[in-house]
Structure 1
Amino acid sequence: MRIGVSTPVVVQVPGVAAEWEREAGIDELRSIAQTADALGFDYLTCSEHVAVPAADAAARGAVYWDPLATFGFLAASTSRIRLATSVIVLGYHHPLEIAKRYGTLDRVSGGRLTLGVGVGSLAAEFELLGAEFDDRGRRADDALRALRTSLSTNRPAYDGEFYRYDSVVVEPCAVQPRVPIWVGGRTRRSLRRAVELADGWMPFGLRGEALAEMLSAVDVPPGFDIVLPVGPLDPTAHPEEAARRLRELDEMGATAVTCTLAATSAGHYCDQLEALNVITGALWSHM
């Protein structure tokens, strides 16, 4: 089971983000990313909202660093840790736009992109951006098919329900022969979409029983990732609790876990990463 980091600072949801994150900037973010990289954590995350309507900001938060710019900087500041969008909203972009921008990120990072995608749920943001909301699920399915054929080639071609193109050049493109695509969501449809069209599923807001029921209803292909969230963990103050929660996720079938860590500063966050690394090392040595 791989361990990823729900990157602090870059997304600040009320009631979840810590007070220190409000004043933190790129220096703190770089320090945390480099610590996670050096310790061997598998991936960092960054989410997308383009412009959150003011009426929704109290619940969803207003701070969302752009994942492409953020990961471009972190790619130059790290050497091995993967960069996982969690998630970008498919309906906000043409598939070729994603292929070009994130294919370039894959190239400059040396093949470290994991493309997490979602259908989106904030209708007001769709309207603001001129994106179609009502049929976003069908459009997302078509976009996923287009992305699978387009991410790792500089001569993409696709003929689908909503997206059609050929005789185009997209250079540079991704260097990974198959960029891992994870689908976020909390519905049976999102799981179906992930199993049929992607390489992993990132559920959120679901309890263990509901997760187990949903997963038992599908045939999960070999190599398919189940990416589960956990946190906030406090591995320094409560290592046994952190270990217990990670064991539970492993028993549920998680192949990767995205950890949120409790911290009071960037320095404390790095200390928490070091403590979590000790815990995971001990766990896996006994499994």
Structure 2
Amino acid sequence: MKAVIPAAGFGTRFLPATKAQPKEMLPVFDKPTIQYVIEEAVASGIDDILIVTGKNKRSIEDHFDKSFELEHTLEVAGKDKYLKQIRDITDLADICYIRQKEQKGLGDAIYCARKHVGDEPFAVMLGDTITKGDTPCTKQLIDIYNKYDASAISLEAVPMEKVERYGIIKGEEIEKDVYKINQLVEKPPMSEAPSNLAIMGRYVLTPDIFDKINETEPGVGGEIQLTDALSKLDAIYGNTFEGKTYDIGNRLEWLKTSIEFAMDDEESREDLLEYLRTIV
């Protein structure tokens, strides 16, 4: 299976930090956000990845490319630990790139991948969402696809006052944590939301989604919404992820995620706790 990572957005909610730097390259503790996403793909058994980029996204390509000068400098200096980290990044997966030439929405970004994907199921992993769990989120969706032979998306229960930030589903639970989806609505007002189950940035899709995207008119925000195209599929399942999802979509959530990941690091934890006590 291949993975598609949309990473073409402007990142306006992080301006001015994202004026010349992709939001997907903002560091969460000690790695750029998108590296966590690719590591999840690899942990799910995927090593063929297409990143859909846009203007000012070249640093993503540079990060996963080989850096001869840096490797030589580290090797000469005997910094083997850092040299291994740099080489491991380059060797993570086979990564290709294509540009979304116009900002026409997530659905259009996925449509840019149709030639690379071909007539096969594929994963979609948003480049500004990180997941953490014993079984990778994308692997859980692959298992559901294999069981039901239909598209699958990751879900999370969110507070009702936040439903207007997400695509929301209506469905029936057919087994523990698995839903047969009957309706999808993009960013509904709280009073019109069919549930509080939100789509959380991970998908395994059948290739007929490309035809559905092609048939989809611009929706919320004047963009081609992936949620609207998903609504046209004959069958789709949802899975409430057994783990935690981090939506790096705004400054506060990004900062909280970075602190939480730093607390997981044995070398940083105690010093960070001591510092936080001094400012609280």
Whether TM exceeds 0.5 here: the answer is: no
| Richer in strand (by share) | 2
**TM-score when scaled to structure 1?**
0.29
**TM-score when scaled to structure 2?**
0.30
